[in-house]
């Protein structure tokens, strides 16, 4: 009898435990899954901070960029390109005239203050949407021609 009673008790506990559904998760206010410090969103910056390592040395860097249907830069290129552009004193853009003008406008609209020199070329073979960007920085501010 004890075994039967224990078995019935165990069966009823399992049945009751499995029959009820899991409780619904509580929703956060506003339906957001994350909370943000609103002051971060409200703060408007009017400058781009300079990288202290890049500011204290002479350097030259070259990047090849290709305009495609997604835009002028791929996601992988954005951080590196803007880090260099915002820390450069001079940028030379080499490529088809209309494409390098588009890149120049894009960088100026996004706060790049470096002197930009456009070097248009006619591309006979290859991708006309590809340009070369050369970035220059001198710690003393003097970039020789």
**What CATH number does residue 106 fall under?**
3.30.1330
Q: What is the pTM of this model?
A: 0.66
Whole-number pLDDT of residue 105: 98
Mean pLDDT calculated for residue range 9-23: 63
- What pLDDT does residue 49 have? 75
CB distance 134 to 61 below 8 Å: yes
Mind listing the pLDDT tens digit for each residue in 34-64?
A: 555 666 666 666 667 788 898 899 999 999 9
Q: For residue 5, is it within any domain? A: no
Our count of domains for the chain comes to 1
Of 25-34, 35-44, 117-126, 133-142, least confident by mean pLDDT is: 25-34
- 111 within some domain: yes
Query: Is 130 part of any domain?
Result: yes
3-class DSSP state of 102: helix
What would the mean pLDDT of 9-30 be, rounded to a whole number?
A: 62
Residue 24 lies in a domain: no
The 10s digit of each residue's pLDDT in 68-79 is 998 999 999 999
Pull the structure tokens for residue 6: 């224990």
Q: What is the pLDDT of residue 93?
A: 98
Give the strands of the sheet with 130-137, arranged side by side. 59-66, 130-137, 90-95, 115-120
Q: How far is CA 114 from CA 60, 104, 111, 135, in A?
A: 13, 10, 9, 9
Q: Report, as an integer, the average pLDDT of 91-111.
A: 97
């Amino acid at each position: 009898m004890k075994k039967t009673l224990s078995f019935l008790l165990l069966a009823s506990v399992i049945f009751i435990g499995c029959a009820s559904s899991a409780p619904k998760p509580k929703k956060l206010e506003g339906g957001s899954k994350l909370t943000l410090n609103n002051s971060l969103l409200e703060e408007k910056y009017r400058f781009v901070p300079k990288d202290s390592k890049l500011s204290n040395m002479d350097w030259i860097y070259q990047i090849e960029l290709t305009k495609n249907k997604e835009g002028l830069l791929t996601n992988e290129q954005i951080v590196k390109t803007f880090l260099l552009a915002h820390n450069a004193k001079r940028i030379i853009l080499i490529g088809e005239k209309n494409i390098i003008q588009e890149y120049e406008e894009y960088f100026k609209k996004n706060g790049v203050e470096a002197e930009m020199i456009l070097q248009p070329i006619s591309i006979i073979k290859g991708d006309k949407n590809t340009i070369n960007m050369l970035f220059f920085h001198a710690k003393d501010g003097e970039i020789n021609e």
